[in-house]
Amino acid sequence: MSVVSVEKDAVARTMTITAEFDAPADRVWRLWGDPRKLERWWFPPEVTATVQEHDLVPGGRVSYTCATPGGDRSGWWDVQHVDEPRRIELTMSDPGVPSTSVRIAVADRPGGTRVTILVRFAAGDDMDLLLSLGFDRGLSAAVAQGDALLAADQP
């Protein structure tokens, strides 16, 4: 497995990460097609997450709860587009967090697959989103980043 590229566009508010895996598309698809697998990579290892609803169809919903030292947290995806095992599009809606859309495309390559993940966040409260991402990076990192941002905001 290797990350091939990461492209970030601050104006379009997108990040595109491309990675190559030595596994065929149907096995890659199971990473999100199987809720027990999804629980193990979507969330950071220190978080115990449980996927509740798992309705991977257009208009469907995937919801989850996470037990964290700071209390329980929940969130969900609204699924927009599903083309198994090639493509999925969803919008993440966690309470209090600006919505973020995710598009994952799986293409074949010799010996495996190339997976392109496009993440787009809406203009809005960047700080809220940043702090929510901090959740995924561990709390200390979130605090450090919040501090760094506040420091950088000083005139």
The residues of the shown chain that bind other proteins, judged by CB under 8 A, are 1, 3, 6, 8-11, 13, 15, 17, 19, 21-23, 27-28, 31, 37, 40-42, 44-45, 115, 117, 119, 121, 123, 126-127, 129-130, 133-134, 136-137, 145, 149, 152
Q: Which is nearer to other proteins, 41 or 55 (CB)?
A: 41
> Is the Cβ–Cβ distance between 112 and 23 less than 8 Å?
yes
State the minimum distance, in angstroms, from the CB of residue 35 to other proteins.
Answer: 13
State the minimum distance, in angstroms, from the CB of residue 19 to other proteins.
Answer: 5
Q: Which is nearer to other proteins, 9 or 84 (CB)?
A: 9
Q: Which is nearer to other proteins, 95 or 152 (CB)?
A: 152
Q: Which residues contact 108 (CB under 8 A, 6 or more apart)?
A: 24, 25, 114
State the minimum distance, in angstroms, from the CB of residue 155 to other proteins.
Answer: 11
State the minimum distance, in angstroms, from the CB of residue 63 to other proteins.
Answer: 18
Q: Residue 121 CA to chain centroid, in angstroms?
A: 11
Q: Which is nearer to other proteins, 60 or 134 (CB)?
A: 134
DSSP sequence for 34-87: SHHHHHHHSS-TTSEEEEEEE--STT-EEEEEEEETTEEEEEEEEEEEEETTTE
Q: Choose among 105, 131, 128, 107: nearest CA to 118.
A: 105
